[in-house]
């Protein structure tokens, strides 16, 4: 895991990721043995704004106007799945990225959003559904369809335990209880009806 803690570090990591994307796309044979890479952007809109500002301040005269890091992220959004590189954002990505790049997100999860935000992030799914005040209620939008979903709520400690167990390849205990007495490690996705998560 790499966690660049500064805008310069994020910039360099994304530019390096573009190099890795090109390397993977030019590999001969099957990519099934290549490890999956996950890019997680925290506060994506803020990150895009900071990357653009960083580039504006540090780019050289002959460098492109658009941030190399933002261009790299757009390239990964367009071709990354093919190369086993995936992008997760925990907030909207309305600015900084080209519209065609934003359209590459296969799944959008929206909780407590305004009608305007819904139309900007999930226009193909139709009008925004009525918002719920119930904690953890959201809509998962895939293939133009919005699925009402109950999300799992975890404390930071529960999330850390779950991530540690998952990274170690362990199945977290189902007897441990999370918020409101439910299992701290199972997402109850009402839209899919799955009980095997």
Q: Clarify whether residues 32 and 48 are in a common domain.
A: yes
Greatest Cα pair distance in the chain: 60
Q: Clarify whether residues 100 and 18 are in a common domain.
A: yes
**Structure-token pair, residue 134:** 């119930």
Q: Clarify whether residues 42 and 64 are in a common domain.
A: yes
According to DSSP, the β-strands at 37-41 and 137-142 are unpaired
In the chain the beta strands, taken as DSSP E runs, fall at: 37-41, 85-89, 107-110, 137-142, 145-150
Look up the domain containing 134 and give its range: 106-145
Nearest by Cα to 142 from 171, 105, 176: 105
pTM above 0.75, yes or no: no
CA distance 5 to 194: 37
Q: Clarify whether residues 110 and 100 are in a common domain.
A: no
Number of domains in the chain: 3
* Those residues with Cβ within 8 angstroms of residue 163's Cβ, 6 or more apart along the chain or in another chain: none
Q: Clarify whether residues 22 and 5 are in a common domain.
A: yes
Q: Clarify whether residues 197 and 118 are in a common domain.
A: no
Instruction: Tell me what percent of the residues of the chain surpass a pLDDT of 70.
Output: 82
**79 CB-contact burial (10 Å; exposed 0-12 / middle 13-18 / buried 19+):** middle
pLDDT above 60 (res 46) = yes
Q: Clarify whether residues 179 and 95 are in a common domain.
A: no
CA distance 129 to 113: 10
Q: Clarify whether residues 81 and 6 are in a common domain.
A: yes
Q: Give yes or no for a contact between 123 and 112, defined as CB atoms under 8 angstroms apart.
A: no
Q: Clarify whether residues 125 and 76 are in a common domain.
A: no
Q: Clarify whether residues 65 and 117 are in a common domain.
A: no
* Per-residue model confidence as pLDDT tens digits over 89-107: 877 666 667 677 777 777 8
Q: What is the pLDDT of residue 94?
A: 62
pLDDT above 50 (res 190) = no
pLDDT above 50 (res 181) = no
* Per-residue model confidence as pLDDT tens digits over 16-37: 999 999 999 988 777 888 888 9
Q: Clarify whether residues 23 and 86 are in a common domain.
A: yes
Q: Clarify whether residues 9 and 90 are in a common domain.
A: yes
Q: Give yes or no for a contact between 18 and 72, defined as CB atoms under 8 angstroms apart.
A: yes
């Amino acid at each position: 895991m790499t966690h660049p803690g500064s805008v310069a570090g994020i910039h360099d990591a994304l530019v390096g990721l573009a190099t890795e994307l090109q390397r993977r796309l030019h590999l001969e044979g099957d990519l099934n043995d290549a490890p999956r890479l996950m890019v997680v952007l925290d506060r994506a809109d803020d990150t895009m704004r900071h990357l653009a500002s960083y580039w504006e301040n540090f780019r050289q005269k002959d460098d492109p106007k658009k941030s190399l890091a933002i261009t790299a992220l757009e390239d990964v959004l367009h071709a990354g799945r093919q190369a086993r590189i995936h992008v997760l954002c925990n907030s909207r990505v309305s600015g900084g990225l080209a519209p065609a790049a934003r359209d590459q997100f296969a799944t959008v999860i929206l909780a407590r959003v305004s009608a305007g935000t819904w139309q900007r992030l999930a226009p193909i799914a139709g009008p925004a559904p009525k918002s719920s005040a119930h904690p953890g209620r959201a809509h998962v939008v895939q293939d133009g369809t919005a699925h009402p979903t109950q999300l799992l709520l975890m404390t930071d400690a529960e999330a850390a335990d779950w991530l540690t167990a998952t990274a170690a390849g362990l199945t977290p205990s189902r007897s441990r209880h999370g918020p409101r007495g439910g299992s701290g490690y199972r997402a109850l996705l009402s839209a899919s009806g799955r009980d095997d998560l």
